[in-house]
């Protein structure tokens, strides 16, 4: 008997699995004699050029399939569970948890708190390590599953226990030592809470985290996100402009010191700090190759640089039209500047860039990725929108035309009586969408 069996959801046409007669409903029992605990084991053992699959058909018959293939070639099997195991939910009660600040009545998936190291490897999610035992760490090291993204918050064990409301959170930092000794590449994150892990504690965290160089490649510092739904939650304060400037002063000072010693800037400030402090974004070189883009670090600088590169070769003309762009308050000054430059090059073009205030979650949330369809409808109704409304793709649920409040792009288009164009993330994509040079996602 095998403890772990994984049901096949589908088989890709023309794949090795299809050729071997594997079909939906079959169960994978073993790979080359090894039981498969989850996606980590599976991806490791199917890398080999010669493997043996033990498959159980729906009628109970077992097939042993010997397969020869190129190293790293995939079999073409999709399983019922993406991780080949249950998702691990978070055991912490973090004082800054964004999900605890969500209003009731939203779709169930938005309330699931994941803290799964497998999602860190596969999707780049940040994990606290409190859900991992030594067996998990050993597998990460053995299989070279890197990078692993870690939510540190602080290197003070006692403070970490208080911030995560988990008495094992400080002890979990020991696992970072194991990853470091195993030579596993990591990235880190600090969610900064005013009066809690900032100031001297931030200095301590940066100093101690540099001890994990070169395997800890980068650490981002981002301000805590505070919505208006914080009744009965831990009292947290918003950072002021002066606070933001002090945070940036600390980070910039450490960047200079670390760069001089290691040749990397290592510690990075989220884009929101610069908006709040009313300071210029750092030059591109300070981002060390944009290691923390998904954490909101360097996204605006990269967009600006991509826009500059795509803008240079444009040939002016005067025969353009009128359109509009909806974005969050964080990106609005930069998108507006790009629109101005395009209108200078194309005098016949009119671009309206509208900053959408986050009434749904509260004014303190400024990123475009948390803008809802309802706020777009409420704030853009009656505005001059032109022939199309452009919105960034990060406003939508992954691979679906649905906003956080379950309003669809079609409903937005119908409400505003204008076609909606979904713009991909790069500066080139923005220019292409504005000029209509390349087809983007469009809903009418």
pLDDT at 417 over 90: yes
CB distance 202 to 250 below 8 Å: yes
How do 186-192 and 148-151 pair as beta strands? parallel
The confidence band for 122, taking pLDDT boundaries of 50, 70 and 90, is low
pLDDT tens digits, 28-66: 999 999 999 888 889 889 989 999 999 999 999 999 999
Q: Where are the beta strands (DSSP E) in 21-129?
A: 27-31, 34-35, 50-56, 62-68, 77-79, 126-127
**Residue that the structure tokens 């853009």 belong to:** 380
Residue-level pLDDT at 440: 56
* Structural tokens at position 359: 């009434």
pLDDT at 118 over 80: no
Give whichever of 144-148, 337-341, 395-399 has the largest mean pLDDT.
Answer: 337-341
304-443 placed in CATH 1.20.140: no
pLDDT tens digits, 160-192: 999 999 999 999 999 999 999 999 999 999 999
Cα 199 to chain centroid distance, Å, stands at 27
- What average pLDDT does range 138-158 have in this prediction? 93
Alpha helices in 263-326 (DSSP H): 271-277, 299-311
Domain boundaries, the chain: 6-79, 99-295, 304-443
Q: Where are the beta strands (DSSP E) in 178-307?
A: 186-192, 216-223, 267-269
Strand partners, 352: 324
Specify the length of the chain in residues.
444
Report, at the CATH architecture level, how domain 6-79 is classified: Roll (2.30)
CB distance 426 to 438 below 8 Å: no
Task: Compute CA distances 404 → 19, 111, 124, 245, 371, whole Å.
Answer: 41, 12, 21, 32, 8
99-295 placed in CATH 2.60.40.60: no
pLDDT tens digits, 80-100: 888 777 777 788 899 999 889
Kindly report the number of other CB atoms within 10 A of residue 433's CB atom.
Answer: 24
The confidence band for 367, taking pLDDT boundaries of 50, 70 and 90, is very high
pLDDT at 397 over 90: no
CB distance 324 to 352 below 8 Å: yes
- What average pLDDT does range 221-236 have in this prediction? 94
Task: Compute CA distances 347 → 111, 342, 384, whole Å.
Answer: 47, 8, 18
H-run or E-run covering 356: strand 350-356
């Amino acid at each position: 008997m095998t403890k772990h069996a994984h049901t096949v959801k589908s088989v890709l046409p023309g794949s090795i699995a299809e050729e071997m007669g594997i079909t939906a409903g079959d169960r994978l029992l073993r790979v080359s004699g090894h039981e498969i605990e989850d996606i980590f084991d599976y991806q490791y053992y199917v890398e080999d050029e010669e493997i043996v699959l033990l498959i159980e058909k729906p009628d109970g018959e077992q097939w042993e399939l010997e397969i020869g293939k190129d190293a790293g070639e995939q079999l073409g099997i999709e399983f019922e569970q993406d991780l080949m195991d249950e998702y691990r939910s978070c055991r912490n009660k973090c004082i800054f948890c964004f999900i605890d600040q969500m209003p009731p009545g939203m779709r169930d998936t938005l309330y699931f708190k994941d803290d799964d190291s497998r999602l860190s490897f596969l999707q780049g999610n940040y994990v606290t390590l409190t859900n991992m035992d030594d067996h998990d760490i050993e597998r990460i090291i053995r299989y070279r599953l890197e990078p692993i993204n870690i939510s540190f918050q602080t290197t003070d064990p006692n403070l970490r226990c208080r911030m995560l409301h988990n008495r094992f959170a400080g002890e979990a930092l020991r696992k970072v030592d194991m990853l470091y000794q195993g030579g596993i590449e990591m990235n880190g994150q600090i969610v900064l809470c005013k009066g809690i892990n900032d100031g001297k504690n931030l200095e301590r965290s940066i100093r101690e985290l540099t001890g994990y160089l070169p395997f800890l490649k980068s650490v981002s510092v981002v301000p805590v996100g505070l919505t208006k739904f914080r009744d009965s939650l831990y009292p947290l304060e918003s950072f002021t402009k002066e606070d933001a400037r002090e945070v940036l002063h600390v980070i910039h000072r450490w960047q200079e010191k670390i760069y001089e010693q290691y040749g990397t800037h290592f510690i990075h400030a989220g884009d929101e700090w610069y908006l709040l402090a009313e300071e210029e974004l750092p030059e591109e070189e300070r981002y060390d190759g944009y290691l923390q883009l998904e954490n909101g670090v360097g996204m605006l600088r990269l967009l600006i640089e991509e826009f500059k590169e795509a803008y240079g070769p444009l040939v002016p003309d005067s025969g353009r039209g009128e359109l509009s762009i909806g974005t969050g308050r964080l990106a609005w000054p930069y998108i507006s500047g790009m629109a101005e430059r395009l209108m200078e090059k194309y005098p016949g073009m009119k671009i309206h860039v509208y900053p959408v205030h986050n009434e749904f979650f509260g004014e303190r949330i400024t990123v475009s990725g948390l803008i809802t369809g309802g706020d777009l409808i409420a704030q853009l109704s009656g505005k001059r929108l032109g022939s199309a409304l452009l919105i960034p793709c990060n406003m939508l649920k992954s691979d679906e035309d649905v906003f956080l409040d379950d309003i669809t792009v079609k409903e937005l288009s119908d409400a505003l009586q204008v076609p909606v164009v979904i713009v991909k993330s790069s500066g080139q994509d923005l220019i292409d969408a504005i000029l209509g040079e390349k087809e983007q996602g469009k809903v009418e």
